[in-house]
Structure 1
């Protein structure tokens, strides 16, 4: 495919000398395959491609997650709320206020949770793993565990059904970029729980919940070894890959990938400073991936970002930043030398559906 692009790339009409810089009044709009890694067309338009309305299912969905009432936010016996789903992944919200009164085992898929707010400990067969704001917490499929809450939690989770998430190969960057593997935090195995009794394990299997009553405690582990285990990683330990001469697409910031999805973070970094370079995310349509954005916080060129905002853009729909923001950032010149955003993003190859509880129950949900 790279050979196809290098030999057959063509252009017609008025275009800049380079992509993403010195547009001179043109409005740049990217249509891409395979996220940003496949064949691409850059259209140079007169008008703003993001001024549109839709009819039917094909639309953006935006809502404030801070108003979600999950069942685990009102009862210790509750469970997280599904937000979006397809056959490869589901995206969840957990607002747990109290520690789990039971043990839990998910045999539907591996889980990756992002800690938007709160702190606590993941207790599991592997030991105790403390976590806090800005952490990713990975839980292997089939592991028995429970959340212990120190401060009320606001978590976003990705449940992967089609295969185990893995770190992508960052070709040419070396072993310690964009993160040093030593910054992964592992559980610490404590004393085995050896008391006999009846221990309730809630099991999620094929989307349903059942109970297993065990006569031995799942945390009676005396030792373990292997290459499958929970871990935590904080976004403060991520080394952002940057360029001064071109705005890099989100695909440069992937943390984990799995069959049908990628998980990535857009984090504070120096802004592009070469004269003429576009610094705001360009208008784009990913023809092969849905995109879910979760705003963790921060600011972009002086504008605070709405913490907890969730936005879903289906594949093939225009998204990015409106043209007036592009113009304002361009006009600001050197006024801002950094972009301080903290955004978590999930991209999925198969279209996502919005859970009916969210579509019908969140007062401020918008279909754009």
Structure 2
């Protein structure tokens, strides 16, 4: 995170006695990254945060993947994954893996039921809300999530999702094996978002007050690192039972906490000629970046071509999630709301036939998309396989392999 926050009741000096109204001690917990060498926060619990009374295995949803073989661009229609039983689906255990590799996994879920308490101890999560609303209760406090929000949840943050509307909350979950943060080029050496950044600290919304909940023998699902030999994906799960509720923090302060950022607060960077994807970047993790393409004025050179030029992803796979508007370069491909395109490294891709000519003279693009570029190949999860449109790879030529 780029700035300091303080909520609730904390002592004047860290690592000193902090007593309850009845004279007992609160239990101080340091939650920090990179072994005491990076961002952290100090939380003050009424209970002992390490105390557990039971631990059993949690069988995770299917996280197996298969290679993108043969190597082709793919179109995945995620709305196919929504069943009539969405009201009984929760935002954690109901996730279906769409794409993944050793650095990042992308899942999708349409949920209507409150999730269990959950903690991802593998990496940070950046969850994009395609539609719907939800309350996200966390050990740091409460976040309100709505359409267009990125919800960034640091590794090992205990939380749960509670849908709040009459329609499902549709979530595009980006789960890292690392931390997720604003791009380094947007930050000063002390962590402030700079003037050329397309957003600033005012656009990031963290909890506003502590959340305390009473309870005994409380279950928390924990996703954590295992071995490829035991789980296939190197990720496994444990179900803990705590003697008291983990939402027992009376105060905290620091630089590490969950927050929301709405895509409408991203200020697009434009130019006289077509700008490359890095100008759309919003977050980054190890071996991947997250970009968003938002409604914007487009190139204003008199001979400009507003849609992208054809390009070969030499070092990366490009995953584009289409979540609003009309994506000009993909017209005629079958791609629409809730679609993913996977354009793999080793395959040249670009606008669909006719898109270049149609774009000439256009001054504004009304499109909304979230892109993840990865620097290791993406593989298909069971959700991606179930949602595939087999015709997409041939849309540039108009001919399939059997033609």
**Fold shared per TM-score above 0.5:** yes
Shift of 1:316: 2.0
Alignment partner, residue 339 of structure 2:
309
Q: Structure 1 residues 365, 215: CA separation in 2 closer, same or farther (over 3 Å shift)?
A: farther
- Partners of 2:391 and 2:219 lie apart in 1 by 40
Give the one of 67, 81, 101 matched to 1:68: 81
Rounded to whole Å, the distance in 2 between the matches of 1:235 and 1:280 is 21
Give the corresponding residue for 1:14: none
Residue of 79, 87, 107 corresponding to 2:121: 107
1:281-331 CA-to-partner distances (Å, cap 9, x unmatched) read 11111100101000011125696971111111111212220242112223x
Q: Against the structure 1 CA distance between its residues 117 and 275, is the aligned structure 2 distance closer, same or farther, given a 3 Å change threshold?
A: same
RMSD: 2.4
Which residue does the alignment assign to 1:139?
153
Normalised to the residue count of structure 1, the TM-score between the two structures is 0.77
2:290 maps to 263
Q: How far apart, in 2, do the equivalents of 1:341 and 1:175 lie?
A: 25
Superposition pairs of residues 72-221 of structure 1, within 5 angstroms: 73=86, 75-76=88-89, 78-100=93-115, 102-151=116-165, 152-161=168-177, 163-168=178-183, 169-170=185-186, 174-175=194-195, 177-193=197-213, 195-206=214-225, 207-221=235-249
Shift of 1:164: 1.0
Closer/same/farther in 2, CA of residues 299 and 69 from structure 1, 3 Å limit = closer
Match status 1:223 vs 2:251: yes
Q: Whole-Å Cα distance in 1 between the matches of residues 119 and 187 of structure 2?
A: 35
Tell me the equivalent position of 2:363.
Answer: 337
Match of 2:260 among 219, 225, 232: 232
Could you tell me which runs of 5 or more consecutive residues in structure 2 were left unpaired when the two chains were aligned: 1-67, 226-234, 394-403
Query: What is the deviation of 1:160?
Result: 0.8
Q: Deviations over 1:258-293 (max 9, x none)?
A: 110000001111122321111111111110010100
Correspondence for 2:29? none
For normalisation by structure 2, the TM-score amounts to 0.71
Deviation at 1:191?
4.7
How many aligned residue pairs are there? 305
Kindly indicate whether the alpha-carbon contact (under 8 Å) linking 1:178 and 1:238 is maintained by their aligned counterparts in 2: yes
